[in-house]
Amino acid sequence: MKRAAWVMVVFILSSGTLLFGMVDPPGKTGASGGVPKPVPEDGYQAMLVEEREKAGQIRLDLLRQADEEMQIVYHTFHSGDWMKAFFSEVLAAADRGVEVTILVDGLMNQMRGEMRGLPALLAGHEQIDLHYYKPPRAGNPAEWNNRLHDKLIVIDQTYVMTGGRNIGDKYFSPPDEPGVSDRDVLVKVTGDEPEQSALMSDLNDYLANLTAYKGMYSYKEETSRFVERRAKELEKELMSFESPAGSGSMAELDFLDVDHVAFMHNPFGEIQNEPFLWEVLTDLAHHAEDEILVQTPYLVLNEPMQNMLEAGEFAPEQVTVLTNSLYSSPNFPAFSAYLADRDRFAASEVQLFEYGKAEPIHAKTFLFDGYKSVIGSYNVDPRSVYLNTESLFVIEGETFAEELQGSLDAIETDSIQVQHEEEHFQEKVPVWKDRVMTGLSRITSRLAHLL
């Protein structure tokens, strides 16, 4: 199965590369992305979620909290106890009458193997609507590169959680076990009518348009005896599954008052979409007066992205970038593409830091002038800019930004600043990994737009 999966990935990259290369990347765009509406007098609170285990517990609390409706939008799920715990709570919510909408990527959702009957189980519930985004079709391999990459949970038009985490054991493991270092933000809309807030209005429009999009397919029930049997077995297993304890009442969580929260998203619908979110981020960079902090799992800039960044007033010396090292990164295609340009970044005035611990950093975060915080699913690479569905929050507030700054400072402490033509952590990197990454970089640097 793993060999077949890799064959499919290679075919996607090779076929998609040819077709992708026939079209120039889009330029500047107008209103096709998630443009915030005029802001009424809304109230918002936000909570930064750093700890892995707590991130999982809060997700379970959100599902348990749901009274009327929930929307779940996710790139992928990884088989294991946390996936079972998550869908156990989803089914429990549906059983108590909550309307559940689930949007998942049609290629990367991983509802296979031991979870093979899960789609049939979910779609068979009268309270659950399950949709797949662009399941691969043999006649259109270029479109296989367009993936749903959002990570969103929306509860009762009041709570919204987003960030870099997918659902899986490695994202929610205890601190003494191996895992992935990531970051979420939980936003609460305050006031008597949270559904009328600008944030929820923009988010609801996005989810409605995404659900109605022609590339989003409602799950068609499978009828094989194996799937039916596995769905029944899973139902028994999940309904009796002992989920981990939550973090407590939602009222007990440490929310911070913030000045404003805006929801923004990529446009979708084309093989290559307009780079709306990259425009938003570069505009924020152009207007920054003091400091720009960026955390991204890998840093891959193609020429159009670089040109947009340099089109306005931009001071590279203001920018600090935190990313993985050859030691910490598990992503061979994307990180090897970064390696191809690593010396160029290091030779610039940008302060580039690489993480020195064994566990990878997976968070996608930007902080501008200690006031505007950006957290979501968005990596700094052409895939996030042109190909994937992506979404993020722009959060305004000094207190929240100070807490985020502290988190980024801690990561910088565990990192080493990259100097031109210097190597770091080489003694920790297996020889085979170094050779494979270096060899791949000669190939992936030419396929960077697909990574």
Judgement on whether residues 279 and 216 belong to the same structural domain of the protein = no
Q: Is the pLDDT of residue 6 over 50?
A: no
Average pLDDT score over residue span 2-27: 40
Judgement on whether residues 183 and 303 belong to the same structural domain of the protein = no
Asked, for residue 269, whether it belongs to a domain, the answer is: no
Domain that holds residue 381: 275-450
Given 252, 287, 313, the domain boundary residue is: 252
Going by pLDDT thresholds of 50, 70 and 90, the confidence category of residue 134 is very high
Judgement on whether residues 294 and 418 belong to the same structural domain of the protein = yes
Asked, for residue 18, whether it belongs to a domain, the answer is: no
Given 197, 218, 252, the domain boundary residue is: 252
Going by pLDDT thresholds of 50, 70 and 90, the confidence category of residue 94 is very high
pLDDT at 14: 37
Q: Which of 40-44, 205-209, 325-329, 375-379 has the lowest mean pLDDT?
A: 40-44
Between 101 and 8, the higher pLDDT residue: 101
In angstroms, the Cα distances linking 372 to 221, 322, 404 are 45, 18, 10
- Condensed to tens digits (0 to 9), the pLDDT of residues 51-71 reads 999 999 999 999 999 999 999
Going by pLDDT thresholds of 50, 70 and 90, the confidence category of residue 34 is low
Between 237 and 427, the higher pLDDT residue: 237
Asked, for residue 9, whether it belongs to a domain, the answer is: no
Judgement on whether residues 104 and 140 belong to the same structural domain of the protein = yes
Going by pLDDT thresholds of 50, 70 and 90, the confidence category of residue 420 is low
Total number of domains in the chain: 2
pLDDT at 184: 98
Judgement on whether residues 296 and 438 belong to the same structural domain of the protein = yes
Judgement on whether residues 52 and 92 belong to the same structural domain of the protein = yes
Judgement on whether residues 247 and 301 belong to the same structural domain of the protein = no
pLDDT at 220: 78
pLDDT at 33: 63
Between 8 and 102, the higher pLDDT residue: 102
Q: Quick check: pTM over 0.85?
A: yes
pLDDT at 35: 52
Q: Is the pLDDT of residue 38 over 60?
A: no
- Condensed to tens digits (0 to 9), the pLDDT of residues 348-359 reads 899 999 999 999
Judgement on whether residues 428 and 367 belong to the same structural domain of the protein = yes
pLDDT at 28: 41
Asked, for residue 424, whether it belongs to a domain, the answer is: yes
Given 217, 252, 287, the domain boundary residue is: 252
Question: Minimal CA–CA distance to 131: which of 154, 148, 156, 114?
Answer: 148
Q: What is the CATH number of the domain that holds 43?
A: 3.30.870.10
Q: Is the pLDDT of residue 406 over 50?
A: yes
pLDDT at 20: 38
Query: Where is mean pLDDT largest: 2-11, 204-213, 331-340, 416-425?
Result: 204-213
Give the chain as a 3 state SS string: CHHHHHHHHHHHHHHHHHHHCCCCCCCCCCCCCCCCCCCCCCEEEEEEECCHHHHHHHHHHHHHHCCCEEEEEECCECCCHHHHHHHHHHHHHHHCCCEEEEEEECCCCCCCHHHCCHHHHHHCCCCEEEEEECCCCCCCHHHHHCCECCEEEEECCCEEEEECCCECHHHHCCCCCCCCECCEEEEEEECCCHHHCHHHHHHHHHHHHHHHCCCEEECCCCCCHHHHHHHHHHHHHHHCCCCCCCCCCHHHCCCEEECEEEEEECCCCCCCCCCHHHHHHHHHHHHCCCCEEEECCCECCCHHHHHHHHCCCCCHHHEEEEECCCCCCCCHHHHHHHHHHHHHHHHCCCEEEEECCCCCECCCEEEECCCEEEEECCCECHHHHHHCECEEEEEECHHHHHHHHHHHHHHHHCEEECCCCCCCCHHHCCHHHHHHHHHHHHHHCCCHHHC
Judgement on whether residues 206 and 286 belong to the same structural domain of the protein = no
Judgement on whether residues 246 and 303 belong to the same structural domain of the protein = no
Asked, for residue 354, whether it belongs to a domain, the answer is: yes
pLDDT at 363: 98
Judgement on whether residues 205 and 319 belong to the same structural domain of the protein = no
Asked, for residue 197, whether it belongs to a domain, the answer is: yes
Judgement on whether residues 285 and 245 belong to the same structural domain of the protein = no
Going by pLDDT thresholds of 50, 70 and 90, the confidence category of residue 191 is confident
Average pLDDT score over residue span 313-336: 92
Asked, for residue 12, whether it belongs to a domain, the answer is: no
Q: Is the pLDDT of residue 221 over 90?
A: no
Asked, for residue 335, whether it belongs to a domain, the answer is: yes
